[in-house]
Homo-oligomer: A and B are copies of this chain.
Amino acid sequence: MTATSPSFADALARAVSAKASAVLVGLDPHLALLPEEYAAAIASGERGRIAAAVADFCRRILDAVADLAPAVKPQVAFFEQLGPPGYEALEAVVADAKSKGLLVISDAKRGDIGSTAAAYADYHIGLGAKRPMPTLPNLGADAVTVNAYLGRDSLAPFLAYVPEGRGLFALVKTSNPGSADFQDVATVSSGGARNYEMVAATIDDIAAGYVGGCGYSSVGIVVGATHAAEARALRQRFRHLWFLVPGYGAQGATAGDVAGCFDAQGLGAIVNASRSIIFAHREAKYARFPRSAWAEAARQAALDMKAELAAALTR
């Protein structure tokens, strides 16, 4: 990669440094948790109305946190569940976030083969002349999460956009308890490496071709904050991989748990919190905010998380 090539990894490093924040705000508009002002829209059962409420909610969250986070991560499932209007909302939210200077990671966890994988890549992160139909509107996120179970060739269509400035994060060790079922199984052929270590090593090998000036690659991995020891070991071993770290907050991980995901300069990881930020108004900790001030509660939660991470990194 030449110095003049756009690089998602470098853009992410610049944003983390400029905002002095590794907070990745997850946009998971779970309908049952939205503020009560949207209750009538949701109760209508009309997808268009519900999707408009979701888009409005996300817009106001973005207004509240845009200066506190380098990136946001819309969870595609919560938009897809609303069908066509849900995708309208998703596209509006991504465009809104980009207009506010935020990097956008589409949390789609897609994984398929051949021309199917290409269709997913084109939609989520496609841009420029490399697209089959460059003028066709698409989501155009800066990066996307992928599931690599189908193998290296399933990633190729996504990698085609990395030299254009896009990124991807492959699932390695997920934050849920069930991640142990397959990801933790030890393998024979990789010298006893567990499956998630084998996947990480493969992604690291791929990522080596896309390292930016910041020292990190535009191809990263997802490592759950709920597995602090494993994450720390991965950080020590794979020094060029950005970590997307879910599990903070609602899933129970703390700033201390994620500290091992960062390098000595405080780079190398972005820590996702979704519910604990966007639905902070439901937490006892933020009960001092009036019910209608849910966006302010979200801002405070993002501020608090930013401070917690900073404190953990300077210890």
Listed in ascending order, the chain A residues whose CB lies under 8 Å from chain B are 28, 30-32, 42, 45, 47, 50, 75, 77-78, 80-88, 91, 109-117, 119-120, 122-123, 132-133, 135-139, 147-154, 171, 174-183, 185-190, 192, 195, 198-199, 202
Top 4 A-B pairs ranked by shortest CB distance?
A: A151-B178, A153-B178, A151-B181, A77-B119
A82 contacts across to B, CB distance below 8 A: 136
Contact A149 B151 (CB under 8 A): no
State whether A77 and B120 are in contact (beta carbons under 8 Å apart), knowing that A47-B136, A83-B138, A88-B84 are contacts in the complex. Answer: yes
Pairwise interchain contact A147-B111, C-beta atoms closer than 8 A = yes
How many Å lie between the Cα of A189 and that of B187 in the bound state?
Answer: 8
Say yes or no: B152 contacts A149, CB within 8 Å.
no
Known: A85-B84, A116-B77, A149-B171. A185 touches B178 (CB 8 A): no
> Distance in Å from the Cβ of A159 to the closest Cβ of chain B?
13
Cα A148 to Cα B42 in complex, Å, equals 31
Establish whether residues B152 and A78, one from each chain, have CB atoms under 8 Å apart when the complex forms. Answer: no
A78 neighbours in B (Cβ, 8 Å): 116, 119
B77 touches A31 (CB 8 A): no
Query: Distance in Å from the Cβ of A212 to the closest Cβ of chain B?
Result: 25
Given contacts A45-B133, A81-B122, A185-B189, 13 further A-B contacts (CB under 8 A): A28-B115, A32-B132, A77-B110, A83-B88, A109-B147, A111-B147, A113-B178, A148-B182, A149-B171, A151-B182, A152-B181, A185-B198, A188-B188
Q: Please indicate the chain B residues that have their CB under 8 angstroms from the CB of A181 in the complex.
A: 151-152, 202
Best-surrounded residue of A119, A177, A199 (most CB of chain B within 10 A): A119
With a cutoff of 8 Å between Cβ atoms, the chain B residues found around residue A176 in the complex are 113-114, 150-151, 153-154
A96 to chain B, nearest CB (A): 16
Q: Which residues of B have CB within 8 Å of A47? A: 136-137
Residue pair B83, A139 in contact (C-beta under 8 Å): yes
- A205 CB, nearest partner CB in chain B, Å: 11
* CB-nearest residue of chain B to A85: B84
Q: A78-B116, A78-B119 are in contact. Are A183 and B149 (CB under 8 A)?
A: yes
Cα of A91 to Cα of B116 in the assembled complex, Å:
19
11 A/B residue pairs, CB under 8 Å, sorted by A: A28-B116, A31-B133, A75-B116, A77-B110, A81-B120, A147-B147, A148-B182, A150-B176, A150-B183, A182-B198, A195-B195
- A81, B84: Cα distance in complex, Å: 12
Q: How far is the CB of A30 from chain B (nearest CB, A)?
A: 6
Instruction: Give CA–CA (A110, B83) in the complex, Å.
Output: 15
